[in-house]
Structure 1
């Protein structure tokens, strides 16, 4: 019996050990991994005490000049006393509070609408406590409210001390009576008697008015003289004051006339936007003497109404052929465009005869909707064959030529001649003025750009014809190149400096080439090949790294400790089985 008790005791001890080692570490880990939660206590803030807005009495004298009579007068500004606040009481001031008294007045009794306005303010500390700092503010019909002497606060202002400042401004809008409310106070300090911290003052305003009129016409024959058929009727225009916020609109009548009546004295600017026309619009003075009456001439803007086209009759030519360039110009405007001339710029300075559009001739006049055409003949000789490309850009304009122009361009190929190799260097500019001027030089400036793809795109066909990757010296080479005009491009984070035209004539004096680049937006590969190299001096892209997530969640930490607890549980189970075996063996020996 005793043996049986001992065996049962051993079995129970083994079971307890199994449960303890399995569960204990899990709860222990969870408890030790808890972090205390930080507690943030909000810092109390001090509310800014604003002065109580009440009406007050204005008693400062003002000596001014009447703008109508010019006589000097001395006036005592009249004011009204408003209600006093309940707390603190004027009869029982708080001994800890400051007591400021405001006096304010205009420098003159009256003003013209466009005249500069000056307002004075005096603040006296009549209390027993120092005020620091003292501010003054105002509202009313003025352009701004910045007070000199009180801009950043005046102070400290000792008991019995007075400080002064002034406001210099202009009147906004059109008013007959100028009203400004001025207030004062001490920042973060109560005032014992806030009733005398606010004052409202007024001054009469005189408005001087005048007229602005004129005529608009379109000089269709470009002779500088207005003729009856050139009046621009129904034209919408506006004027705006240069000094003030005055704006007015009107429309011209059948004779091209307009008029703005009784507008306030000011300098006015005229605005108009009419398709196809350019105007030299004057600034006029209104209300300062004789009312202006102006004649405003309109000139055609060709770039608004003209459309130009250019095309060769064939895409390719051979030596001995004659290339025919057809030029067209259409007037899409409502009026006649006279004296249109043109200039031509040809690749390789090939001569181009523009015929009736020649810049030294009388030009061409186009009626509304009319199209003018001219065919330009270019002989394809040995010189043109050396260039490999015929490209002409024509610019059309109407006098004055600088008032606007339109362009058209055409290109054709002259295949046949080729170069065995074209070499060049890709690098950073040693100096760059912003005009595409630069040369290669020694490091650190002018260093070469290796391992970068360079390609040539045929300007006539638009196809990428040649490509290469620069070596460690920044060199690139294209083999068996047909002479002609190309566009050079690079792949990667670079921007080509200056023109991208890449001329490959048969003349050898063009070589070797220097292609200058500066860091810029990433340029794609026209062949859709991935670009994995890093430019010299550049920074390779950062490699993304994955970091295991961390957490302060006790449940996740408990789950993490469960892996170790599992092995402890297995050990406890093994101990339990072993104990059961001992009990069974003991019973067999007893029997």
Structure 2
């Protein structure tokens, strides 16, 4: 156990506020009694020497006052520090354009984001506060860097018509746990829960998991040992986060865990549970019941879930439309349409059980511009944590529009380098459902591909030449209508060359020794050539094969729109 050292900031005494005096009225001039009819009211025998002066009115405007407080305990670096602020308008007029802000007078700097002030955001137009109104609000700030003492903070408000400023601020000291004097190890175990009992058992430690300890803008890097354990020694007090990645063997581990050091033993023996991907035991499929739909109509799908594992599954829901883009079916989160599969529901499956569900949704109006309506859903027991979940996808056509589109065929050079145009190469667009050729063209000298009078839709690119598309799930989006989006790109890299499907099969040359002919990849009987994947060949080798006229293969990559 490490004792926490508390650092107190000296509180500044609030300044006394003097009461503003009220201006007295001005007396009127005396009058002379009248000798007229006594039944009449007295009247002066001569006009008064001066007109009566009215009483001076009270000064108009608002008068804002502020008080503030923080909890009496000590806080950690990077911990959210709540500050309660009371703002009152003590003036006779409504306060306008009220804004609030803060300043650190001494000690470590406190940061409060502008939006914490809500209506009184100093970067906005400001809010209002009626005469006599009081607003109590809580904002939160953080201290990210230690400079030897806790902060003393001044909290201030202003208004365009505030008539005095001396009561517009309050000062509060904030206590911090010293990171110089309070340190502790951050240690723990990453384990793969093979038997699903929620606790580590002998042999379940996961070796080789990357563990990063983030301390604000600084971080330390570590790797779990053979027993799955990790250790960061003498970590200063503060709110820290562990980030985990690269779990071996397909294990799924949480993105992060708490690594806070506060002077207790909470940072020691942290348990991080890994689990197998749910897609290994849960199969999810979706299929539209019709091949085509019209915009605005109801589409019906059949969703089939199968538990292929040896333990029951429960709470299974479909988290659909993860990207929020494109002509995705509407209503997938509506329990009236998706029943148990919608958020808030949950499907249960016993080992080996298969269940089918009929669900519906509405085809969006703009689906006709894309030529398709689709569904993409992550399926699992936690819709906010989808790593390792099975993904079900389905697509149906929304016919009606035809038009022109264009894009580019580029050799991929990585994220930071522009692609290289691929000229004089035939690219066919295939129907994703049937595989039939819908359109074909040849790239020009700049790698540009142009297609005319083609239906809106999504197409698989088929390249006749020594290239493969980097992403095998790629498609070319042909988007027409009021907002057409040409300019898609097919990124390719050298790969084995597929034969033109329309060309006759070549006759292999005879080999007197009976040795099989060389594969397109350049090696006799190469397994990579057989599978169409040239993953091991370096880029220079691919270029050499191109120069030698060797043929390479095709795969598809998702086309990117610009």
- The structure showing larger relative contact order (alpha-carbon pairs under 8 Å, at least 6 residues apart) is 1
Q: Same fold (TM over 0.5)?
A: no
TM-score, length of structure 2 as denominator length = 0.39
Q: Which has the larger radius of gyration?
A: 1
TM-score, length of structure 1 as denominator length = 0.37
Report which of the two has the higher share of helix.
1
